[in-house]
Amino acid sequence: MFEGKLEKLKDGFKQLPGIGEKTAERLAFYLISQDKQKGLDLAELIRDSIDSIQKCEHCNMLSEKSPCHFCADDERDNATLCVVEKSQDVYLIDETGVYNGRYFVLGNLISPLDGIGPKHINFPKLKEMIEKENIKEIILALNPSSAGETTMAFITSKLQNSARKITRLATGLPVGGDIEYTSSKTLASALTHRNEL
């Protein structure tokens, strides 16, 4: 049974996403059983990262600099804006090499059950960016969860009177997927969002 500071260290690790009880125990034991300097170096790295990373003044992306390197890149397409929930989504999309436009990070998705409403998603800043930078297409790259769908519906309703094109990521069967193992909800989405060949 853990106790004292070891218990607190384990509980600290459990706060991280994807870390359960057993993993938290292993991490806590690993950290205290190693050379003390390694643990202290890691602690200093965490502190330094927390102190130096900020939100980009333009897109809300977590970055060491503001504007972030995406907003500062003159080679990017200024006519398209990809709206995502989290900063890590920006990196995932950019790594595909398919998209070369601007980004905007909402920070949250609308979820009334969790007490997250429209005022928690930085919509006024998003709207200002769209109008100021003359964006032609807005790509809503949000998870197709109930919170994601609610957020996309809200943003679309607020921007539908503009002359801008609003698109969303395709949903449905994954590449290399098998219809036999696909849920009926995913299959229904694939049928609804089918493309012409």
pTM score over 0.85: no
Local confidence band at 173 (pLDDT 50, 70, 90 cut-offs): confident
Which has the higher per-residue pLDDT, 162 or 128?
A: 128
The residue among 107, 155, 103 whose CA lies nearest residue 129 is 103
Task: Please answer whether residues 81 and 58 qualify as being in contact, where contact means their C-beta atoms are separated by less than 8 angstroms.
Answer: no
Question: For residue 168, which phi and psi values (nearest 5 degrees)?
Answer: -135, 160
Domains assigned to the chain: 4-52 (1.10.8.420), 77-178+185-189 (3.40.1360.10)
Per-residue pLDDT reduced to its tens digit, 88-97? 999 999 999 9
The per-residue pLDDT for 177 is: 75
What's the token pair of residue 39?
Answer: 């643990």
Q: Is 151 exposed, middle or buried (0-12, 13-18, 19+ CB in 10 A)?
A: buried
- Of 42-46, 80-84, 147-151, 180-184, the poorest mean pLDDT is in 180-184
What CA–CA distance (Å, rounded) separates 89 from 67?
18
Check whether 110 has a pLDDT greater than 90.
Answer: yes
